[in-house]
Amino acid sequence: MSVASVMPSNHLILCGLLLLPPSIFPSIRVFSSESVFRIRWPEHWSFSFSISPSSEYSGLISFGMDWLDLLARRQITENKIYCENCLVCEGSEWLVSIVIENCVAAAGFSVGEFAALVFAGAMEFSEGLYAVKIRAEAMQEASEAVPSGMLSVLGQRQSKFAVACLEAQEHCKTQGIEDPVCEVANYLFPDCRVISGHLEALQFLQKNSSKYHFRRTKMLPVSGGFHTRLMEPAVEPLAQVLKAIDVKKPLVSVHSNVDGNRYMHPKHIQKLLAQQVVSPVKWEQTMHAIYERRKGTAFPQTFEVGPGKQLGAILKSCNLQAWRSYSHVEVLEASEDTEGPL
């Protein structure tokens, strides 16, 4: 017998990696009270639903989702959290396979792009996890070769990001650094950037922040200058893994970090995922591409599901009208106490 699950339409979901169902069968704990069941995938996620005969389809069972808790299992690699956020748009109908049929688009921030692609059915969960492992190890090795880092910069309209990076590179040359790197690595929202490169260059920017009209700067707790050409050694190992993965056409459109546009086909995915390692994350551009709509067209509800509310804060700065329909769904970390409340 077929089973159907129906959820409201006109929703956007901002989700973390572990919304994706694990490829292994769970150790299921079931509690029943009349027609309400609670099932938990240890270290992954849990949910509660009620069952009743479908009023729309004869012979089918309707699953009413009462709540969904994602248990964010954090795996630290290259000083980053694997379960970074991804964006999924306008889902309506969920089947038991947890595939959203009516999504409009998906995007993931940096390593979260793998989560978006797995969510969209472009690759298996295990394949995405393995690719992220190889990516993290290769990027960590590259970061150890050069003292580098990332600097968050909150600017203003008159801020001179390009000039600042060029002058920081020139400063590094006077310090004997050959081929110095200082580049914008993340476009977050208007006048907010993350700059990556040699530590000497980033320290120069901090000391001279007023010259370039930077309102605030802060070093990020990462181990390297990610999303710049300093990560070039990591491209080939990741490219080889991606070639071995059976990448499929996504079930929903997925936007690339490299240019903010939608992936066209599987080979396009393989190419740009490798290129993303040495390219800036154009998240601001992605937000504009996803939420662009004609004047008067209503924005769907947006849910961020994942650790933290960073994507919601960025959305607010990029598109206030879209953010007005935004909500955050708390994510619980898996604990060793498996007998805890669901």
pLDDT digits over 25-39, tens only? 333 333 333 344 444
pLDDT tens-digit series, residues 270-303? 999 999 999 999 999 999 998 888 888 877 666 6
Active-site residue, from 46, 48, 110, 256:
110
- At 28, is the secondary structure helix, strand, or coil? coil
pLDDT tens-digit series, residues 39-68? 444 444 444 444 555 555 444 544 444 444
pTM, rounded to two decimals: 0.72
pLDDT tens-digit series, residues 195-252? 999 999 999 999 999 999 999 999 999 999 999 999 999 999 999 999 999 999 998 8
Rounded Cα distance, 5 and 178, in Å: 59
Q: At a CB cut-off of 8 Å and minimum separation 6, what does 227 contact?
A: 110, 185, 186, 196, 276, 277, 278, 279, 280, 281
Q: What is the pLDDT of residue 197?
A: 98
Q: What is the pLDDT of residue 224?
A: 95
Q: What is the pLDDT of residue 49?
A: 46
Q: What is the pLDDT of residue 146?
A: 94
- On whether the CB atoms of residues 251 and 121 are closer than 8 A, the answer is yes
Rounded Cα distance, 250 and 218, in Å: 37
Confidence band for 308, pLDDT divided at 50, 70 and 90: confident
Q: What is the pLDDT of residue 301?
A: 65
Confidence band for 11, pLDDT divided at 50, 70 and 90: very low
Q: What is the pLDDT of residue 297?
A: 84
55 in active site: no
Rounded Cα distance, 132 and 155, in Å: 32
Q: What is the pLDDT of residue 81?
A: 32
* Residue % of the chain over a pLDDT of 90: 51
Q: What is the pLDDT of residue 252?
A: 85
pLDDT tens-digit series, residues 140-176? 999 999 999 999 999 999 999 999 999 999 999 999 9
Q: What is the pLDDT of residue 120?
A: 85
- Residues of 36-50 as b/e, b for ≥16 C-beta within 10 angstroms? ebbebbebbbbbbbe
Confidence band for 108, pLDDT divided at 50, 70 and 90: confident
Q: What is the pLDDT of residue 98?
A: 39
Is pLDDT of 188 > 60? yes
Q: What is the pLDDT of residue 31?
A: 36
Q: What is the pLDDT of residue 169?
A: 98
Residue from 319, 328, 329 nearest 287 by CA: 319
Q: What is the pLDDT of residue 158?
A: 92
Q: Please provide the average confidence, as pLDDT, over all residues in the chain.
A: 75
Q: What is the pLDDT of residue 198?
A: 98
Q: What is the pLDDT of residue 103?
A: 65
Number of neighbouring beta carbons within 10 Å of residue 209 = 19
- Residues of 228-249 as b/e, b for ≥16 C-beta within 10 angstroms? bebbeebbebbeebbeebebee
Active-site residue, from 148, 227, 255, 279:
227
